[in-house]
């Protein structure tokens, strides 16, 4: 596919600045090939996913990061190792950043083929922030921002696109106690809006100190990742009714990995942690693995 762009030139003269179109500069840019995007790619499992995709994916691979310096340094590191990822800034909590990236992808590639939602945060056990602060921030980043990235980027997905929500073993219902709460989260007819409400109710319960009473655990990370696991099934149901054929969305537990998030206590290397997310990102056409929860050894598991 070929696109034609018009260029505007900024002209400064006589103490004032004016913008004028000089003739019609046409830039012919070929919108080549397929494109994969990894959020939070500057370190840890995300970095290893980018590396593995550079090795295995037939298309452009975008390492994205909220911080441009950290992101471009990570790209340089991979270049030293002989890989050629591309870079774009992406802060998943910033609507403007997501929208700019969406526009860039649309004008450069005309679509999107692989989206790995990897970026997330976890407060340390020793963190001194009050629980309600941790709850609000963890849900804001891990659930609501991931959700926003999907809302903004999903219109770009092409047929056969693959979406990976990096969840966790923490994202299973066995980590919480409330029977009614579990039933609501496990409902196959649960909608995105209803899930948003449940996630917001967790934050509100944390603020009023009632989160245990209503069936959550004492971990905001658990709540956020249960939301991420549930989102994969909901998104798959949406895509099953979408005219774009064969889009697959899966949630994955990458294993317990040696990264900053775990203070380097996990036994798996980041490369080992990348195996299941990359497997989900590269599922073949017309795969039956859709709307599932995948364990780090690539087996089908159950978060409900």
Active site residues: 221
Note whether 67 binds ligand NAP by CB under 6 A.
yes
Note whether 93 binds ligand NAP by CB under 6 A.
yes
Within 109-138, which residues bind ligand NAP (CB under 6 A)?
A: 118-121
Binds ligand NAP by CB under 6 A, chosen from 60, 219, 236, 259: 259
Q: Residue 119's closest CA among 174, 169, 160, 71?
A: 71
Note whether 301 binds ligand NAP by CB under 6 A.
no
Residues composing the chain: 304
Note whether 40 binds ligand NAP by CB under 6 A.
yes
Binds ligand NAP by CB under 6 A, chosen from 139, 173, 257, 281: 257
Q: Is residue 164 left, alpha or beta, with left meaning phi > 0 and alpha meaning psi from -120 to 50?
A: beta
Residue where the block lists tokens 């775990």? 262
Nearest approach, Cβ of 53 to ligand NAP (angstroms)? 15
Q: Could you give the CA distance from residue 184 to residue 178 in angstroms, rounded to a whole number?
A: 10
- Confirm if 94 and 82 have CB atoms less than 8 A apart: no
What single-letter DSSP state applies at residue 140? I
Count of residues binding ligand NAP (CB under 6 A)?
31
Note whether 233 binds ligand NAP by CB under 6 A.
no
Exposure on the CB side of residue 282, measured as CA atoms within 13 A: 18
Q: Please state, as a whole number, how many other Cβ atoms lie within 10 Å of the Cβ of residue 191.
A: 12
Residue of minimal CB distance from ligand NAP?
44
Nearest approach, Cβ of 66 to ligand NAP (angstroms)? 4
Nearer to ligand NAP, 66 or 106 (CB): 66
């Amino acid at each position: 596919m070929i696109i034609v762009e018009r260029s505007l030139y900024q002209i400064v003269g006589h103490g004032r600045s004016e913008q004028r179109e000089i003739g019609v500069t046409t830039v012919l840019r070929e919108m080549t090939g397929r494109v994969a995007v990894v959020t939070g790619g500057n370190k840890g499992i995300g970095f290893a996913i980018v590396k593995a995709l550079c090795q295995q994916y037939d298309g452009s691979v975008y390492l994205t990061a909220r911080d441009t310096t950290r992101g471009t340094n990570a790209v340089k590191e991979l270049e030293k190792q002989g890989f050629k990822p591309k870079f774009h800034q992406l802060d998943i909590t910033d609507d403007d950043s997501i929208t700019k990236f969406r526009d860039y992808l649309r004008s450069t590639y005309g679509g999107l083929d692989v989206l790995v939602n990897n970026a997330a945060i976890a407060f340390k056990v020793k963190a001194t922030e009050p629980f309600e602060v941790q709850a609000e921030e963890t849900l804001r980043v891990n659930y609501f921002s991931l959700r926003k990235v999907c809302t903004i980027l999903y219109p770009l997905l092409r047929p056969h696109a693959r979406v990976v929500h990096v969840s966790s073993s923490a994202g299973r219902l066995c980590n919480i106690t409330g029977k009614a709460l579990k039933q609501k989260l496990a409902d196959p007819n649960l909608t995105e809006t209803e899930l948003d409400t449940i996630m917001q109710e967790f934050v509100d319960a944390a603020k009023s100190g009632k989160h245990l009473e209503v069936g959550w655990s004492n971990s905001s990370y658990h709540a956020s990742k249960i939301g991420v696991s549930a989102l994969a099934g909901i998104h798959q149901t949406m895509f099953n009714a979408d005219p774009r054929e064969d889009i697959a969305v899966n949630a994955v537990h990458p294993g317990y990995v040696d990264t900053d998030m775990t203070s380097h206590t996990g036994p798996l290397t980041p490369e080992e942690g990348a195996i299941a997310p990359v497997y989900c990102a590269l599922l073949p056409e017309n795969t039956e693995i859709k709307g599932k929860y995948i364990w780090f050894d690539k087996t089908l598991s159950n978060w409900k």
